[in-house]
A and B are shown apart, each in its own frame.
Chain A
């Protein structure tokens, strides 16, 4: 549905987006991750046709965004960053306008507005003017605008920004549900959202794609992916450490905690795939020594570790030169 090829955008001498390519098919929810200023919003603005790319091509549903943008815009819903809306209008007036400009009239328009209001839980504020609403409601009003025509393609720039945890959960669930029938791109810097709602994620840094895969694949790129966490009672940390380091397939052992109930250690595997095998071996070694295992589990790898390791902050990058 969405095809992005070698997209480049420069503002003066600054290159904001540099050679980004990806595709999103119907039934996919693509999470767009990256630090602030990485080029997420700029890329989304080009996909929606708001700003023209310096080079490259965007096609939505087969229509070129530059040559023939009208049919492409018709099949697309867009929630811009910060969820702008006409603050002097009422919620129903604003959604009515959005419906009308999408070609709905009369009873059809009322139906579209009502459906969007129900989906976004706006019943209690329909006659209120938007400027009197709280941030969460304003956000959902703009979100409602983007789905008013039940579009095939949805572009959401930080859809959960400014929502409380319950609302975040609802929006995420909504995105995942809608993603079954639509092609959705959404950006976020909340990493749990990728697991909660995405079928695939792209990490973008300094205008370039640095990772592209399913959430599981990305997590496996974390250093801690497949590491074995073990808590043992009645043993000195030094002795345990030496035994664990000798286990076949272990790369490195890290002491997590020595105080309190037992010693906690983390055993990193040589490759992420050896994870489950490693847990069995660690268990065998500890039991053979007659120590008591309180806890033993394999870690899946954490998204924030992946994120940190591939999108190095500026200060670190300067130091590593």
Chain B
């Protein structure tokens, strides 16, 4: 049996699954239920200075696919709206009662050194194993100069991280907002400030939808709405990219990553770890399905590691990074062609119309002698784009087959058509 035990920011965890700082970690009752379900840790809902914030009703909005499934949700909830002392007492109790689980204290303050330091010390005194700096909340708190208002300025990111590092002797996780231009720049700032790790991504700023009868953004609060933080499966690709950028960058080498963003299954977790994450944090999936989803997240990951010969998460960590490259390093002579398996084709025509209308007119319709129709790939026109394979409703009916065109691998910097190369040669 493979042990999922790992170290995240130097903290021992029984598995890589922590609950992210969010409504599910707002109080002892929830976190206890999560630990009973098997979660390795929890980042407590962000604590701020008293008096506590006041939240609105309603708080969440949903983005559904045409098929009715939830793609993502957004929220306008602020940080913990309970008195600091209540939270600290509960954290302390939880640390005592669940010694093998991780509790990280998430915190937020305005750009004031003393405020950060005082709060950090108070939280550290509960016995938390680490602190996470919420520099990402993109709604409400940023209007008060906190959250993403700090996280969007690299200088502030560095300062707040340094203040907390100076105040306490605990691993510090700087939580980054994706609502910036270059994630590496802010991650580097966190590193400069002494962060042990970065946690990312926080939510993406969003309006989830518009109520076309009430003519207001959703969710509506007494007829009005505001922007909120978007999360869930939809943001996973954004998070994967940002995690990979930090893991690959020279400037952030050695900075650990606690990955967040739409993680719903063990497979999602494995992908983030393969791109260099030390561990993952989950919120939306738990909100949608309950804490029990961690059971398969654990079980599935164990089976995956075993079936692929990985003895631990360390063996998996960063495995996909060497193959994650800049576009300039891709082989321009690599050639794929779509192959349609006529036996499993159900003749829906989706591949044809997609290619015909929006790609390269490389799928022809032919009438079959015995009735029905056949879809034929025109190799000369097929650019191997994957579109037909992606939209085909029959698993494995369309595959992409590498073809040997006899050409050597060549990248753009080496390519004869690259004007910069010519210029360099001259």
Do A and B truly interact?
no
Q: Which residues of A contact B (CB under 8 A)?
A: none
Q: Which residues of B contact A (CB under 8 A)?
A: none
